[in-house]
Amino acid sequence: MKKEKPELTENRIFEKITFGEENPVDGVYEECRFIRCNLNSADISGVTFRNCTFDGCDLSLAKLRETSFQEVRFANCKLLGLQFSDCRKLLLEFEFEQCMLKLSNFQRLNLKNTQFTDCNLQEADFTGTDLTGTIFHNCDLMRAIFEHTILEKADFRKAYNFSINPATNRIRKAKFSLAGVVGLLDVYGIEIE
């Protein structure tokens, strides 16, 4: 039996649409814009997004099993508790601006040179993730998990509330502000005044 080719949707703008069981997202979306759409708890497993933009959308708790994000930009989006680690790893590339990413899971992904700008990444999990060259510009990383994470050449100069153990992460040539160095020392329980 021959496998059906997924439907291709190109150059479309989806605005203020609620997606879910009655209005599913499926197939391949190329160079599409999703503006103020609701995908909260939607199943977008197996869907491919290429060169797409999500602006002002809510994708909180959406199912991402084998979802493909290729050169995707998220701006002003609510992305609470997303399991990005379930995404398809091949050609995975995205950037985030002014997004709520609390409790999101990025475990064991290759996120080299990813940009996070003005994002809330509280309690996000970066265990085993390659964040080489990643920029965290004005990001809140309170209780974010960095364990066996590659942070080489990552830029934390404008990030805050992070706690990174230099003994369990690779941080060679990572950039930190003088005030941010406290986030590298708190694991030792020393008091800095």
Q: What is the pLDDT of residues 28-41, one digit of tens each?
A: 999 999 999 999 99
Q: Is residue 121 part of a domain?
A: yes
CA-closest candidate to residue 12, choices 42, 35, 46: 35
pLDDT at 46: 96
In a shared domain, residues 115 and 91: no
Q: With 80 as the cut, is the pLDDT of residue 4 above it?
A: no
Q: Is residue 1 part of a domain?
A: no
For 140, list phi and psi in degrees, rounded to 5: -90, 115
Residues with Cβ within 8 Å of residue 26, at least 6 apart in sequence? 6, 7, 46, 47
In a shared domain, residues 84 and 36: yes
In a shared domain, residues 113 and 183: yes
Residue 74's domain comprises 7-105
In a shared domain, residues 118 and 72: no
In a shared domain, residues 95 and 128: no
More confident residue, 188 or 64: 64
Interval 161-180 mean pLDDT? 94
In a shared domain, residues 160 and 176: yes
Phi-psi region of 78 (alpha: psi -120 to 50; beta: other; left: phi over 0): beta
In a shared domain, residues 47 and 99: yes
In this prediction the pTM is 0.92
In a shared domain, residues 14 and 94: yes
Pairwise CA distance, residues 117 & 75, whole Å:
9
In a shared domain, residues 66 and 119: no
In a shared domain, residues 112 and 184: yes
Q: With 80 as the cut, is the pLDDT of residue 25 above it?
A: yes
Among 90, 105, 120, residue at a domain's last position: 105
> Per residue in 60-101, pLDDT tens?
999 999 999 999 999 999 999 999 999 999 999 999 999 999
Q: With 90 as the cut, is the pLDDT of residue 186 above it?
A: no
CA-closest candidate to residue 90, choices 107, 112, 69, 104: 69
Q: With 70 as the cut, is the pLDDT of residue 114 above it?
A: yes
Among 79, 105, 131, residue at a domain's last position: 105
Q: With 60 as the cut, is the pLDDT of residue 183 above it?
A: yes
| pLDDT confidence band for 1 (50 / 70 / 90) | very low
CATH of the domain at 46: 2.160.20.80
State the average pLDDT for the chain.
94
Contact 54, 72 (CB under 8 A): yes
Tokens 């002014």 -> residue: 98
Among 63, 87, 105, residue at a domain's last position: 105
Contact 92, 113 (CB under 8 A): no
- Cβ burial of 11 (10 Å; 0-12, 13-18, 19+) is exposed
Q: Is residue 2 part of a domain?
A: no
Checking DSSP bridges between strand 48-50 and strand 68-75, what pairing results, if any?
parallel
Contact 58, 34 (CB under 8 A): no
Question: How many domains in the chain?
Answer: 2
CA-closest candidate to residue 76, choices 35, 41, 43: 35
In a shared domain, residues 68 and 143: no
Q: Is residue 25 part of a domain?
A: yes
In a shared domain, residues 24 and 92: yes
Contact 129, 121 (CB under 8 A): no
| pLDDT confidence band for 179 (50 / 70 / 90) | confident
- Cβ burial of 151 (10 Å; 0-12, 13-18, 19+) is buried
